[in-house]
Amino acid sequence: MNTAQQLKTALLNINHKSYPAYKSVAGNYRFEEYVLGIDHVQGDPFASPSKVHLALEGKVAGFPGHLFDTTPKRIALQDYLTRRLGRELHKVSGKAGGSGKSGLIFLSQCGQEILERSCCEINPENGDLIIRLEIGFPANGRSINSPELIKILFDFLPVCVSRSLLCRRLPMEELLAVEALCEDQQFIRQELKRLSLSAFVANGAVLPRMSGISQLPLKHAVAFECPHSMEVTLTLPHRGSITGMGIPNGITLIVGGGFHGKSTLLNALEMGVYNHIAGDGREYVITDESAFKLRAEDSRYISNTDISLFIRNLPGKKDTVSFSTQDASGSTSQAANVVEGMESGARLFLIDEDTSATNFMIRDQLMQSVIADKEEPITPFISRVQALYEESGISSVIVAGSSGAYFHVADTVIQMKDYIPYDITEKAKTVARDFPALHTEGLTYELPTFQRCPLASGNLRDNDRTKMKVLGKDSIQINRTTVDLRYLEQLSDTEQLSGLAYLLTYGAKHYLRKGRTLTEIVDLLERQMEQKGLASLTDAPYLASNLARPRRQEIFACFNRCRDLVF
Ligand code: ADP
Ligand code: MG
């Protein structure tokens, strides 16, 4: 292995040379506390910055094993270190200068959710630590300014590392607090299963966010307060006793006037599949981690999905046992979303009336009398929601502001009033008795078939030179194919979309086979991420510096929306 001194000499030798001479310093170098890897050097100072990694041995980093002895705790520690290192790097980014991106230092930025990311990986066996980051190698015009890079690599980085990645230099009480919060959150997740709950929302939680463009907690928000009848008290291993609302498995309806906080509660449940950082306000809002938001998604792609549970006898005898379209309607898209959610193993569906197709959700008595059942291809969700729970064990939480139809089928009815929930189940049931329920006789519940096997076509098949691009949280592009992901509202970070782009490309290249189902493919991809980490999704693992792990549900959803996969 080269020494740091050799790197310094090499860098001084190429000072003032033309930019590509930087390529000669690619390689690994031994620094005092870590090995610095220069993995890819940018082509010019305006191009994407160079890829660099730091490798620290476990005994140097020195984190005690109990801080990362479970996967969630390891992810929480990685998240903490990323945030801490990010703050240190931020102080020195741009301090060394030049043209274009010279001197800028980039590390993944974490939001409110605690996600597994490729920028910081701890080896669970020995505590070895890998950090992946990007540095704009400095130049003046196109001529190398290596003393500035020396400043970054020899002055700035060692200080940042020692202030954020060496256990002995970190405040132990903060590390222990991260561990404790994670253990408490995981404890609640376990308790949900034991107590047959779909979600838990602690008293005092702050659900609303600052604005449509900020996920920070809203200041001066009305704190969450559980209705008496739904109170659940848990004894967390660290925090001790905590009381909040337990949403039981089954069918839960959230009703209430406009602007009283219904969607805010549902959104908090959507994001409760992830653990949140301390101070977020939703630290103790925990939802079954398989929960899947369902919504209408006009114009999405559907390939050979069995939506006959909801839609049959379409005009023109279009097949719905194996339904395909390049341009779905509101109701067919939502039907496909349900079926694909089932295929992904979701145990809880989250639905907001505002973003649903009305004809998919309900069908009122009057309409049923005028248009005979046999002339209506749609069996609305309301006619299936009970069987979904009783036959398939899938619960639903539904926000309904304008239709009372679901009162008949709900097990629990919550009214949001001035942001506070009230249990109005009794009242709603009593009143509903005087209104006719939708009759659904003669309906049989047949599980859709999940034997769908995707094969790649077009752009995805020829992937020797794959170009990937992520457009915010809206979509990913693989070569010339765009996969629209904007309606997957539980994606919390653009890096998860990068992760999906890699999963799709890697999956298409290595795991697609004739006769292999989507479920088997996703199982293989998840197992690989578990065993070898996110960065293993590429042949050049040190280059994958900015991936976050998406959930199983979003991996399914991404594959299902890719127009270059035919099932
Ligand atoms: P609904 O879906 O019932 O129409 P929303 O959930 O969209 O209502 O909430 C309406 C507004 O109230 C939003 O701007 C939201 O940020 C705000 N809000 C929601 N919950 C709270 C709360 N607990 N405290 C303060 N403001 C809140
Ligand atoms: Mg709303």
Residue 25's nearest CA partner among 44, 52, 59, 62 is 52
Q: How far apart are CA 394 and CA 445, in angstroms?
A: 14
DSSP structure class, residue 154: I
Q: Is the CB of 250 under 6 A from ligand 1?
A: no
Q: Is the CB of 363 under 6 A from ligand 1?
A: no
Q: Is the CB of 264 under 6 A from ligand 1?
A: yes
Task: Please tell me the least confidently modeled range out of 9-23, 276-290, 457-471, 539-553.
Answer: 457-471
Tens of pLDDT, residue by residue over 177-225, are 999 999 999 999 999 999 999 999 999 999 999 999 999 999 999 999 9
Q: Is it the case that residue 279 has pLDDT exceeding 90?
A: yes
State both tokens at 53. 């990694």
Q: What is the mean pLDDT of residues 164-175?
A: 98
Beta bridge partners of 56: 129
pLDDT of residue 479: 87
Q: What is the mean pLDDT of residues 422-430?
A: 96
Q: Is the CB of 29 under 6 A from ligand 1?
A: no
State both tokens at 315. 């005009």
Cα 264 to averaged position of ligand 1 atoms, centre (Å): 6
Burial of 343: CB neighbours in 10 Å, binned 0-12, 13-18, 19+: buried
Cα 547 to averaged position of ligand 2 atoms, centre (Å): 32
Counting ligands in written order, which one lies closest to the CA of residue 355? Answer: 2
Q: Is the CB of 419 under 6 A from ligand 1?
A: yes
Please tell me the total number of residues recorded for the chain in this structure. Answer: 567
* 172-194 and 71-92 helices, crossing angle to 10°: 140
Q: How far apart are CA 207 and CA 191, in angstroms?
A: 21
Task: Please tell me the least confidently modeled range out of 136-145, 276-285, 295-304, 534-543.
Answer: 534-543
Q: Is the CB of 258 under 6 A from ligand 1?
A: yes
Q: Is the CB of 498 under 6 A from ligand 1?
A: no
Are residues 247 and 199 in contact, defined by beta-carbon separation less than 8 angstroms? Answer: yes
When pLDDT is cut at 50, 70 and 90, the band that residue 356 belongs to is very high
DSSP string over 370-437: HS-GGG--B--GGGTHHHHHHHH--EEEEE-SS--GGGGT-SEEEEEETTEEEE-HHHHHHHHTTSPP
> Bigger pLDDT: 315 or 357?
357
Tens of pLDDT, residue by residue over 246-262, are 999 999 999 999 999 99
pLDDT of residue 375: 82
Averaged pLDDT score across all residues of the chain: 95
State phi, psi for 306 to the nearest 5 degrees.
Answer: -85, 95
Counting ligands in written order, which one lies closest to the CA of residue 223? Answer: 1
Atom index in ligand 1 nearest the CA of residue 206 equals 23
Per-residue burial over 390-416, b if 16 or more Cβ lie within 10 Å, else e, is eeeebbbbbbbbeebbbbbbbbbbbbb
Q: Is the CB of 459 under 6 A from ligand 1?
A: no
Q: Is it the case that residue 541 has pLDDT exceeding 90?
A: no
* Pocket-testing residue among 264, 269, 415, 422, ligand 1, by greatest number of atoms within 8 A of Cβ: 264
DSSP string over 242-263: EEEEEEESSEEEEE-STTSSHH
Each as own residue / partner, the long-range contacts of residues 1-8 (CB below 8 Å, 24 or more positions apart, any chain) are 1/28, 1/29, 1/30, 1/35, 2/27, 2/28, 2/29, 2/30, 3/29, 3/30, 4/29, 4/30, 4/31, 4/32, 4/36, 4/154, 7/36, 7/153, 8/150, 8/154
Cα 286 to averaged position of ligand 1 atoms, centre (Å): 19
Q: Is the CB of 207 under 6 A from ligand 1?
A: yes
Q: Is it the case that residue 463 has pLDDT exceeding 60?
A: no
Atom index in ligand 1 nearest the CA of residue 209 equals 16
Atom index in ligand 1 nearest the CA of residue 223 equals 23
Q: How far apart are CA 523 and CA 60, in angstroms?
A: 35
Q: How far apart are CA 230 and CA 418, in angstroms?
A: 18
Cα 407 to averaged position of ligand 2 atoms, centre (Å): 18
State both tokens at 382. 């309301």
Cα 207 to averaged position of ligand 1 atoms, centre (Å): 9
From residue 329, alpha-carbon distances to 238, 295, 324, 325, 378 in Å are 49, 12, 12, 9, 12
3-state secondary structure 37-48: EEEECCCCCCCC
Q: Is the CB of 74 under 6 A from ligand 1?
A: no
Burial of 197: CB neighbours in 10 Å, binned 0-12, 13-18, 19+: buried
Q: Is the CB of 259 under 6 A from ligand 1?
A: yes
3-state secondary structure 509-549: HHCCCCCCCHHHHHHHHHHHHHHHCHHHHCCCHHHCCCCEC
DSSP structure class, residue 358: H
Give Cα 250 to chain centroid, integer Å. Answer: 25
* Pocket-testing residue among 206, 225, 259, ligand 1, by greatest number of atoms within 8 A of Cβ: 259
Sorted by sequence, the CB contacts under 8 Å of residue 384 that are 6+ apart come out as 309, 310, 443, 445
Place of tokens 């009480």: 173
Cα 350 to averaged position of ligand 1 atoms, centre (Å): 17
Q: Is it the case that residue 313 has pLDDT exceeding 90?
A: no
Report which protein residue has its CA nearest ligand 1's atom 16.
208
From residue 559, alpha-carbon distances to 29, 425, 566 in Å are 40, 39, 10
pTM over 0.85: yes
Cα 330 to averaged position of ligand 1 atoms, centre (Å): 26
Atom index in ligand 1 nearest the CA of residue 420 equals 23
DSSP string over 21-68: GGGGG-EEEE-SSSEEEEEE--SSTTSSPEEEEEEE-HHHH---GGGG
Q: Is the CB of 222 under 6 A from ligand 1?
A: yes
Q: Is it the case that residue 464 has pLDDT exceeding 80?
A: no
Share of the chain above pLDDT 70, in %: 99
Cα 354 to averaged position of ligand 2 atoms, centre (Å): 6
Atom index in ligand 1 nearest the CA of residue 264 equals 6
pLDDT of residue 460: 80
